[in-house]
Amino acid sequence: MRYSAKFVKNVFKVINMKKLVGATMVDPPRRRHLISRQLSQTDIPQKISEIDGQQLITLFPKLPTKRHVLYLHGGGYALEASPFHKEIQERFVKRYNLKVSYFDYPLAPENTAEKTVPLTKKAFQQLAYLYPDDCFCLFGDSAGGGLAMSLAQHLRDIDLPKRPKKIALVSPWLDASLSDPRSQELQAKDVLLEKDLLAAAGANYAGRLSLTDPLVSPIYGNFDRLGELLVVAGTDEILYPDVLRLQEQVRHSQGTTMRLEVVADMMHDFVVYPLKESLPYVDQIGEFYQ
């Protein structure tokens, strides 16, 4: 069942969802590995491997394909993937005949960017080794979007025969320092993110690194030669100003293009939620990978 964004936003306001989400990002509950168990029960053929103890699950469509998406989920770098992420992965596989690999990357506060980004790079290199003929793309929502961008910048700067050609980001968390003053102006409209709690989660993820280190906050990195970007964001989220900063950075870069879809009155990470308004954007991303 899909609900209207207006209804969900009102519910989130009533239950003060951003306080609940923020608190769990700062102090996460016990790890349940729910999505890994759910994916193991799906009817989609799959291959499961491990990268230093973290699961890497590749889902295969019915028809052979060389189009391959590395999927990095959101959750403030601290929360596990949700069933909503699983549904998008399955839609990419079944509707768009994409090979999709989900990496259960190390989470904060137990781990920081110093481990998470290199290990995610290692996961990508493993996929490139296992599937040398595939054309790779990245998907990331919220914190997963920040990780996807940091990964793309990192892969560009190393000797690697194959890099992602397309990157789709949904409400990406690009600046863990939350330094843009416009984000404070949007705090009242954001029903999912509490700025102070999100900043605490960002500090957990940064660990010993500066909040402006590109491994933590890719907005401070270089945006040359990253291929094609598709970015979707709502106007009612505190991370929206950073998307506008990204657009400006890309405009002055070389070898990178960006298409930005801004959706009026929409909340953070709305594409991932089962909203009536979200499915067209999931499908737009699926088409983008073709």
pLDDT of residue 32: 85
Do residues 281 and 260 lie in contact, with contact meaning Cβ atoms separated by under 8 Å? no
104 contacts: CB under 8 Å, gap ≥ 6: 33, 35, 36, 54, 55, 56, 57, 80, 81
pLDDT digits (tens, 9 = 90+) for 246-267: 999 999 999 999 999 999 999 9
Pick the more confident residue, 42 or 218. 218
pLDDT digits (tens, 9 = 90+) for 151-193: 999 999 988 888 999 999 999 999 999 999 999 999 999 999 9
Confidence of residue 123 (pLDDT cuts 50, 70, 90): very high
Which tokens in the block code for residue 101? Answer: 């690999």
Do residues 100 and 69 lie in contact, with contact meaning Cβ atoms separated by under 8 Å? yes
Q: Are strands 46-51 and 54-59 parallel, antiparallel or unpaired?
A: antiparallel
pTM: 0.97
Residue 143 has pLDDT above 90, yes or no: yes
pLDDT of residue 246: 98
Confidence of residue 1 (pLDDT cuts 50, 70, 90): confident
Residue 179 burial (CB count, 10 A): 16
- Write the burial class of residue 133 (CB in 10 Å: 0-12 exposed, 13-18 middle, 19+ buried): exposed
DSSP β-bridge partners for residue 71: 102, 139
pLDDT of residue 42: 82
Query: What residue ranges do the domains of the chain occupy?
Result: 5-288
pLDDT of residue 161: 80
pLDDT of residue 261: 98
Q: What are phi and psi of 34, to 5 degrees?
A: -65, -45
DSSP β-bridge partners for residue 27: none
- Residue among 139, 89, 81 nearest 107 (CA): 81
pLDDT digits (tens, 9 = 90+) for 49-75: 999 999 999 999 999 999 999 999 999
Phi-psi region of 142 (alpha: psi -120 to 50; beta: other; left: phi over 0): left
What homologous superfamily is domain 5-288 in, according to CATH?
Answer: Alpha/Beta hydrolase fold, catalytic domain (3.40.50.1820)
- Exposure string of 13-47, with b = 16+ CB inside 10 Å and e = fewer, is eeeebbeebbebbbebeeeeeebbebbeeeebebe
pLDDT of residue 35: 79
pLDDT of residue 273: 95
162 contacts: CB under 8 Å, gap ≥ 6: 128, 132, 134, 136
Confidence of residue 41 (pLDDT cuts 50, 70, 90): confident
The percentage of residues in the chain with a pLDDT greater than 70, rounded to a whole number, is 100
- Write the burial class of residue 7 (CB in 10 Å: 0-12 exposed, 13-18 middle, 19+ buried): exposed
pLDDT of residue 159: 82
